[in-house]
Structure 1
């Protein structure tokens, strides 16, 4: 029985020894397969990552730092902000004493009112001058016609006076002949003394009539000359009216235009004074954090003097310096996942906007000169701009700051 038991035990030990190597082989095979699968997955992940995406740890958040400066001179009378204070766009920062600029504005407004009144007067005179010149032209034309009619009338009257002179001379000649015939007859008492005296009186009257007719003729001839002078004067006046009338209108129009230019100049001075007055109240151009504040109450500011810097919280982007070997498949519009180190690896979404025009070393203050015998090829880096696509929703707590280190991953396929 003991021998049989030993034989059975020996058979069991042999069976166990046969089972143990099989289990060990199976376990070893499983481990090998698992390691191979893991290596394949790692290789596949590396291949996928290197083929379908590109990343770099040489990247940071960028933003426009706004230097708030004074646009006018003056003394600060109030400051509203402190360092590291968050301000909204349009929030007050400081006030400059506005009294001088208020006075300048009132003076400019007074000058504008005076210029507008002068322009109104000059502009009203334009149609008045136009009507007046037309009236002068019409009146001078009528004067010419009247002078011409007066000459014609004077000439007719002179002709009538000349005819009366001829008639008076004829009567005088007849009466003189009558006296000459009556003289011997009265001496011989053929005719009465009374008839002779009547003939002598008639002759004297006719002689006087000749003189009167000649004087009237001279007067009528003088009237003709005077009418000629008036016609010449009327024609000269009419010519001047036709020539000077439009010129006077243009002169008045030019004066109105000059006054209008002065109105515009005065309006520009009012606008400038209004702007200067508004510059006395300095406000934040964007929403951000106040930094480098160096303005205090009582300080006398000059134009362009820096007051503080505002670090923006919304208008941000990422500048990533990728190696030149990573840019083969990179282009604008590709989606980017941005991991921020300072926020515990918090991720943001973005897209490639621009690929830089030159390498960082080429844009440095002292670019490298490779025309030497000991040249060593170095992989260069190109700055790539990445814009956030949904910053307001992903950064609702305004946690991002310019200068944060990030790791962007660009999906190149």
Structure 2
């Protein structure tokens, strides 16, 4: 191809490109297209304004966080007695009601202990009744002893007086006997010369001598009576002293004996109460053999089967309630400026497809989560980096019975709470 042919071909290609540009050039816009374009621009501007307003309202009039979850009380059901499980009534993930049977522990040993406690209580009550009845008996016996002792003192004093009178009488008889003996002796002395002169008969003289001897013997007998009377007075005085001592002891020991009997009755009463306490403990232990659900909920973490030997405090299962629930939301500290107790909250649950629940703020935590952790940070050591802290906030459901009628809400579900901090 010659150079001239190449130039002609190039000119033809340029001409074809110019023709194609003229053919592809858009026709002039009509007024309808201009109006539609203007409407679209205005709509976009309106949407931007609305979006900005919503963003401003959301950021100014409410606070939200995605660090929140449903909370609830988890009830660990454990054994309160030791024994072998003989029956289990529930399975994992089963719904139970409050008071529903969960398991039974063999009650034979605890039934024997209960019967023994009943027998011990009956014995203690009998001992107390006997001691209680003996209190008035001891009181009456003590009073009688005091009265008798007083009477003995009076009688002994009277006996002393009588013995003293008898001694006086014996003394008088001694004096009389001595006088008689003296008279008889004088008669013998007078009769002696007379009998020698045969003035009087020998018989009269012998009678006088016999009378003198008898009166002398009477003096000795009267003196012996005086000695006996003195001994009787001494014995009566000793009896008076003994009676007075017994009266003093009765007056002193009588109330003490009553107090001792009352103390014994009180001790028996304490034994009765102790036996009652042991009986009540035996009754409780027997009742603990039948394990029931503390609340209504769902059985989880079941760890008990028939034949297993359980001990006191051993966890058997967990009951998760589905009615007493709340939300724990961990808000940033910068979000708490206008947050107060009682503010309304909208709650969105992720697991239920964003189902909305209503609630209110009931508590604001007393410390940040990091401060309450097992190993709180020590900012005074090492390099310090400021980290926005989070505070746990409790949010209670306000209409849970109606909004959770199907009981699908579970502890641990993630929640997005939106707190209205401005009305």
TM-score, normalising length: structure 1: 0.89
Q: Deviations over 1:172-229 (max 9, x none)?
A: 1111111111211221233343433332232223222212211221221111011011
**For residue 48 of structure 1, what is the aligned residue in structure 2?**
57
**For residue 207 of structure 1, what is the aligned residue in structure 2?**
216
Structure 2's unaligned 5+ residue stretches are 1-27
SS state of the match for residue 402, structure 1? coil
Q: How much does 1:143 deviate?
A: 0.6
**For residue 292 of structure 1, what is the aligned residue in structure 2?**
301
**For residue 231 of structure 1, what is the aligned residue in structure 2?**
240
Q: Deviations over 1:312-368 (max 9, x none)?
A: 111211100001001112122222222212222222222222211222222333433
Name the Cα RMSD after superposition.
Answer: 2.2
1:318 aligns with 2:330: no
Structure 1's unaligned 5+ residue stretches are 1-16
- Cα distance change of structure 1 residues 373 and 160 upon mapping to structure 2, 3 Å threshold: closer
Q: Deviations over 1:73-105 (max 9, x none)?
A: 111111111111111111111111111111111
Task: List aligned pairs for 1:129-144, cutoff 5 A.
Answer: 129-144=138-153
1:102 aligns with 2:111: yes
- Cα distance change of structure 1 residues 250 and 178 upon mapping to structure 2, 3 Å threshold: same
SS state of the match for residue 299, structure 2? strand
Rounded Cα–Cα distance in structure 2 between residues aligned with 1:406 and 1:361: 21
Q: How much does 1:160 deviate?
A: 1.1
**For residue 412 of structure 1, what is the aligned residue in structure 2?**
421
Rounded Cα–Cα distance in structure 1 between residues aligned with 2:176 and 2:100: 112
**For residue 362 of structure 1, what is the aligned residue in structure 2?**
371
Most deviating of 247-256 and 399-408:
247-256
**For residue 162 of structure 1, what is the aligned residue in structure 2?**
171
Task: List aligned pairs for 1:11-410, cutoff 5 A.
Answer: 20=31, 24=34, 28=38, 35=44, 37-371=46-380, 374-410=383-419
SS state of the match for residue 332, structure 1? coil
Q: How much does 1:251 deviate?
A: 1.6
SS state of the match for residue 405, structure 2? coil
Most deviating of 66-75 and 365-374:
365-374
Q: How much does 1:36 deviate?
A: 5.0
Rounded Cα–Cα distance in structure 1 between residues aligned with 2:84 and 2:104: 9
SS state of the match for residue 60, structure 1? strand
Q: How much does 1:120 deviate?
A: 0.9
Q: How much does 1:115 deviate?
A: 1.0
Rounded Cα–Cα distance in structure 2 between residues aligned with 1:371 and 1:160: 118
Q: What is the number of equivalent residue pairs in this alignment?
A: 394
**For residue 3 of structure 2, what is the aligned residue in structure 1?**
none
TM-score, normalising length: structure 2: 0.87
Rounded Cα–Cα distance in structure 2 between residues aligned with 1:350 and 1:32: 41
Rounded Cα–Cα distance in structure 1 between residues aligned with 2:189 and 2:229: 34
Q: How much does 1:130 deviate?
A: 1.3
Q: Deviations over 1:143-173 (max 9, x none)?
A: 1111111101100110111011111101111
Rounded Cα–Cα distance in structure 1 between residues aligned with 2:100 and 2:91: 13
**For residue 21 of structure 2, what is the aligned residue in structure 1?**
none
Q: How much does 1:26 deviate?
A: 10
Rounded Cα–Cα distance in structure 2 between residues aligned with 1:97 and 1:285: 20
Rounded Cα–Cα distance in structure 1 between residues aligned with 2:234 and 2:34: 155
Rounded Cα–Cα distance in structure 2 between residues aligned with 1:172 and 1:161: 16
Rounded Cα–Cα distance in structure 2 between residues aligned with 1:25 and 1:375: 60
Rounded Cα–Cα distance in structure 2 between residues aligned with 1:99 and 1:267: 21
SS state of the match for residue 103, structure 2? strand
SS state of the match for residue 72, structure 1? coil
Rounded Cα–Cα distance in structure 2 between residues aligned with 1:251 and 1:372: 73
Rounded Cα–Cα distance in structure 2 between residues aligned with 1:285 and 1:107: 30
